[in-house]
Structure 1
């Protein structure tokens, strides 16, 4: 059951994260680079990094490819969201970012389980 639990955690967390990353990905490919600049690197690079963390790397987490490494960009993205973007907001506003952060840190620590490309 442990491996099925890890599979469920990987797939559900990554799919839910991708629902937030897909609009950003669509914005990026349409050429609209209007986005916040929470870490001072510019709107376009910030959008690109958010797309990586919320859309591209979660795909790798779903299939279980380089899973531990693939959790790092979503973890960093959610740290920025929770601490910088929503740092002054009440907890209920930053709660979603914290929940994603906890889920991806758990995947990093536990690994992908046997139902993954990493274990094939």
Structure 2
């Protein structure tokens, strides 16, 4: 009765997509000025900051809906790799104030999205 892989995949998809979506919505309402500045500091054209909407809005919606789920999860993986490389690289081996890994949130998004790529959407998805 408690063994339901498809329900488990749905829960993982909703958790990953839902929590990441909050980050995208925040950037939608507050802008990407901070990301533009950071990219400019690395010599990357600031217009690439708008790519965050792909990884934090489009990808999560695809994962939540179960539409092209693996592609949506791949967008999240790419988004997180860029975020870790550009904004959190100095914290890669650091501990947070409470003793956990400083990048546990970023790690959650990255590795859960990787798991979704390998697991697939399960039965509860949009037909594509």
Please tell me the TM-score bracket, short chain as reference.
0.7 to 0.9
Unpaired segments ≥5 residues, structure 1: none
Aligned pairs, number? 115
Pair 1:27-2:30 in alignment? yes
Match of 2:55 among 39, 53, 71: 53
Matched, 1:5 2:8: yes
Matches of 1:55 and 1:39, distance apart in 2: 24
Who wins on radius of gyration, i.e. which is larger? 2
* TM-score (norm. length: structure 2): 0.79
Q: What is the TM-score of this pair, normalised by structure 1? A: 0.84
Could you say what the CA RMSD is over the residues aligned between the two structures, in angstroms? 2.0
1:46-86 deviation digits (Å, cap 9, x = unpaired): 2x111110122201110100111111111011112223321
Distance 1:105 1:113 in 2: 15
